[in-house]
Amino acid sequence: MLLAESSAHGRKEFEAEERIISRLKHRNLVQLLGWCDNHKGLLLVYELVTEGSLDRHLYSKDGKYLTWPQRYKIILGLGSALHYLHGEWEQCIVHNDIKPGNIMLDSSMSTKLGDFGLARLVDHDTGLLQTTKAVLGTVVYIDPEFVNTRRPCTESGVYSFSVVLLEIVSGRRPVMETAGKSFTLVRWVWGLYGRNMILGAVDERLRGDEANDRWMVRVLVVGLWCAHPDRSKRPSVAQAMHVLQSDEVRLPALALHMWTVPDPTSSSGPYEAFSIDSSTCSSSCARSSLVNTDAASLSSGSSSTALLRHSKGLV
Active site residues: 97
Which residues, including other chains, have CB under 8 Å from residue 49's CB and lie 6 or more apart? Answer: 30, 104, 105, 106, 112, 114
Q: How far apart are CA 263 and CA 21, in angstroms?
A: 35
Q: How far apart are CA 84 and CA 111, in angstroms?
A: 14
Picking from 97, 74, 94, the residue whose alpha carbon sits closest to that of residue 86 is 94
Give yes or no for a contact between 166 and 185, defined as CB atoms under 8 angstroms apart.
yes
Element housing 8 (H / E): helix 8-21
Q: What is the DSSP string of 256-311?
A: SS------TT---TTSPP-----S--TTHHHHHT-----GGGGTTS--HHHHHHHH
Chain centroid to Cα 218, Å, comes to: 16
Q: How far apart are CA 180 and CA 269, in angstroms?
A: 13
Give yes or no for a contact between 118 and 101, defined as CB atoms under 8 angstroms apart.
no
Q: What is the largest CA-CA distance in the chain?
A: 67
Give yes or no for a contact between 287 and 239, defined as CB atoms under 8 angstroms apart.
no
